[in-house]
Amino acid sequence: MAIRKKLKRKYLIHLDKSINALLASIDRINSIYDSYKIEQALILLTNAWELLAKGILIRDKENISISDGRSIAAEDAITKLVAKNYLTENQSQHIQQIISLRNSAIHSVLPDTPQEIVFHLMFYGVKFFKDVISKEFPTYANKCSGNFLSISFDTFTTYADKLQKLISKARKRGTPEQELIWLLERGVRFKGGQYISQNKFEDEVKKLGRKKRLYHHLKISDFIKGADMVVVVPVQAPKGYTADINLRKGSNKAGAALPVMIKKTDLEEDYPYLTSEIGREIKKGTNFVAKAATGLMLKNNTTYHQAVRSSKSGKINRYSQKALDYLKDHLQKNPNYNPFSKT
């Protein structure tokens, strides 16, 4: 019993510290005046993933020790999560790129890394972290909640666009572009054991010659084909309207633009129900509706819900017809549903 309590305490300590590291990494990447913020953010985000991975492995009674009191490296811990189906291959490849860049920052000098690549890896590194926390430790999920605004006056492309431009400049040995591509490529390729060395990577590039396109011979090109891209686009909505942006995958041909649809929303028409009106429709109180909307993840999902600021500190929650239909259907299928229950 004492050993079991010790194990439990140890993996929960890992979990707490991993969340602290995650939030610290977000704080660092949003720093304005810190010229070393990218390196710090990558170091802290890697630390977050290493602690989370090891916490899960300790909980599962997996051995994470190697020798001399040391434990397995971050990249090996992530590989174990993939083997145990806690992470997909694509999720792992995102995280392994973060770890690879972090290792460069720790042991050498990180080459200049475009904002598009940093933002993409940070976004998905944080997103996947919260996904795992929410699934494996749901009571801890609220510790990862929050909105973190990044404001930029620069024009951003996507990770894929920027990477292809870097690869086009990466044939020459010893260039910063080739070093960065090697760091990302070794992360994507890593399946345990050893990284591909920089010399071996440079030799592979040299053997291709000038006639063969480098992009198609890199594993990172397969990664791009299977990964969603992210771009932050601020949209100004007129008073009384919301502005939704729906993005869908477009052609993967070079230079093809990502289709964007901007839709103005009439709040009264698209979100006709207040909380109390939803309650009357399903014959439940407003507290029941509010709790159910949160528990069933209807809130903050623009398909079902829109919050409208009514004063400096207050807001009104409005719901769509789809939200009402969803609740009715859920209660019909689950007549004993209790959103206040902790079980």
33 or 177: which leads in pLDDT: 177
pLDDT at 178: 94
Strand partners, 264: 243
pLDDT at 5: 56
Kindly state the average pLDDT of the residues 11-31.
93
The domains of the chain, with CATH numbers, are 2-167 (1.20.120.330), 271-333 (no CATH)
Helices (H), the chain: 2-29, 37-59, 74-83, 89-107, 115-136, 159-167, 176-189, 198-208, 219-225, 267-270, 275-282, 286-295, 321-333
Kindly state the average pLDDT of the residues 162-175.
87
| pTM confidence score | 0.69
Question: CA-based Rg of the chain, rounded to a whole angstrom?
Answer: 24
147 or 203: which leads in pLDDT: 203
Size of the chain, expressed as the number of residues it contains: 343
Strand partners, 241: 266
pLDDT digits (tens, 9 = 90+) for 289-340: 999 999 899 988 888 998 876 555 677 888 999 999 999 999 999 999 999 8
Please, which pLDDT band fits residue 46 given cuts at 50, 70 and 90?
Answer: very high
Q: Minimal CA–CA distance to 98: which of 50, 54, 148?
A: 50
pLDDT at 223: 93
CB 133 within 8 A of CB 142: no
pLDDT digits (tens, 9 = 90+) for 111-161: 999 989 999 999 999 999 999 999 999 998 888 876 665 666 666 778 888
d(C-alpha 265, C-alpha 243), whole Å:
6
1-to-5, 109, 120, 241 alpha-carbon distances in Å: 6, 47, 44, 58
316 or 24: which leads in pLDDT: 24
Examine the pLDDT at 228 and tell me if it is beyond 80.
yes
Token pair 């990494």 is found at 25
